[in-house]
Amino acid sequence: MKVLAILYNGFNAAVKEPRLLGTVENKLGIDKWLASRGHEFIGTFCAVSSDKEGPNSDFEKHLVDAEVVITTPFHPGYLTRELMEKAKNLKICITAGVGSDHIDLNAAVDHKIQVLEVTGSNVVSVAEHVVMNILTLVRNFVPAHEMIERGDWQVSDIARNAFDLEGKVVGTIGAGRIGYRVLQRLVPFDCKEHLYYDYAKLPVEREQAIKARRVEDIEEFVSQCDVVTVNAPLHEGTRGLINEKLLSKFKPGAWLVNTARGAICDTDAVAAALTSGQLRGYAGDVWNVQPAPKDHPWRTMKNPLGGGNGMTPHYSGTTLDAQARYAAGTKSILENYFEGREQEPANVIVGHDGQR
């Protein structure tokens, strides 16, 4: 059985830090285990590569006869319908992490290819990052640090755009595992209000635990928030959700944090809103294309006071703690698959019967 894993290169860091499991070098810690299973499953082969683009890439070469493909959202191998049609043996795609939008799920349904992810594996990691991003923006941290590195010291230049989180209205688009945990972590900050926008209302006791109020209309929701955090998946209903029109409904000078998926926000509309000051800050770790091109506007965009940019590479959900969890979860999904056992229902994105 051929198992193909598309991971990112860790180079020297991965050699020195074996807990960097999500790398080509450390192979999710499952290569030896897979090889040992090879005695039972004749022909098991594990190809691991970060060479994922184009027809001559390892990804496309090995995909042709792979039965299992493992990908991560951090260095996504984009599994398009066209590629799935070439992958005649493909039975199961495993996302080592959370978020399988790099896989054409409708094509997976049509081809009866299972899609699984390690649900919950990095939700705390991301929620902590969101809280950090909110504080980084609201307190104007990045320009303050850059000033120190430059050797300057002009407190007023920083303080004129620095605020307390206390007394602000914070809202999450999506109150699932991550969105809920973000608001839960913000309770001690004494914000003025916690809001959420989601399809379903939370049970009253869960709402009360995070002091949250649901707003059913998205324009009304954003118009009330000082801080908006995006914690919904990328799908047909969220792609480009935060566009020029919706940004114009935000409170002037609001902060926006997106660690969900880059394509939920319109790239140019966000850059324009930050440049004009309609947004005071934008932070997150997800991009519409990954790795982001060197000239991506989100790398360098700034608010009118020269700050407000908290962008990083996609790493919030791949802390060493998270890597241990999603590597273990990937192994467990593979074990279930090899043994013909039912998968954990929460991990199933497309089931073996082609159901979503």
Which position among 133, 278, 290, 309 bears the catalytic label? 290
Nearest-angstrom CA–CA distance, 218 and 233: 16
Mark residues 298-317: x for contact with ligand NAP by CB under 6 A, - for none: ----------------x-xx
From the list 275, 271, 279, the residue with the least C-alpha distance to 255 is: 279
Instruction: Give phi and psi for 277, each to the nearest 5.
Output: 95, -5
The answer to whether residue 160 is catalytic is no
- Evaluate whether 97 touches 117 at the Cβ level (below 8 Å): yes
When computed from its CA atoms, the radius of gyration of the chain, rounded to whole angstroms, is 21
- Evaluate whether 95 touches 116 at the Cβ level (below 8 Å): yes
Nearest-angstrom CA–CA distance, 9 and 22: 9
DSSP single-letter state for residue 23 = B
Mark the segment that binds ligand NAP (CB under 6 A) among 156-164, 243-251, 257-265, 268-276: 257-265
Supply the minimum distance, in Å, between the C-beta of residue 174 and ligand NAP: 3
Supply the minimum distance, in Å, between the C-beta of residue 260 and ligand NAP: 4
| Residues of this chain, 71-100, that bind ligand NAP according to CB under 6 A | 97-99
Q: Count other C-beta atoms under 10 Å from residue 212's C-beta.
A: 25
Supply the minimum distance, in Å, between the C-beta of residue 320 and ligand NAP: 14
Supply the minimum distance, in Å, between the C-beta of residue 95 and ligand NAP: 10
Q: How far is CA 198 from the centre of its chain?
A: 18
Residue tagged 């499991």 (tokens): 21
Cβ proximity to ligand NAP, 88 vs 249, nearer residue: 249
The answer to whether residue 89 is catalytic is no
**Minimal CB distance residue for ligand NAP:** 176
User: Which amino acid would we find at residue 31?
Assistant: D
Which position among 62, 129, 194, 261 bears the catalytic label? 261
From the list 154, 142, 152, the residue with the least C-alpha distance to 306 is: 142
From the list 25, 70, 78, the residue with the least C-alpha distance to 53 is: 78
Supply the minimum distance, in Å, between the C-beta of residue 97 and ligand NAP: 6
Residue tagged 């005071």 (tokens): 280
Mark residues 182-211: x for contact with ligand NAP by CB under 6 A, - for none: ---------------xxxx-----------
Size of the residue set binding ligand NAP (CB under 6 A): 31
The answer to whether residue 122 is catalytic is yes
The answer to whether residue 177 is catalytic is no
Mark the segment that binds ligand NAP (CB under 6 A) among 25-33, 39-47, 154-162, 256-264: 256-264
Nearest-angstrom CA–CA distance, 51 and 343: 30
The correct pick among 259, 267, 290, 330 for binding ligand NAP (CB under 6 A) is 259
Mark the segment that binds ligand NAP (CB under 6 A) among 18-26, 132-140, 226-234, 289-297: 226-234
Mark the segment that binds ligand NAP (CB under 6 A) among 59-67, 81-89, 230-238, 248-256: 230-238
- Residues with catalytic function: 122, 261, 290, 314
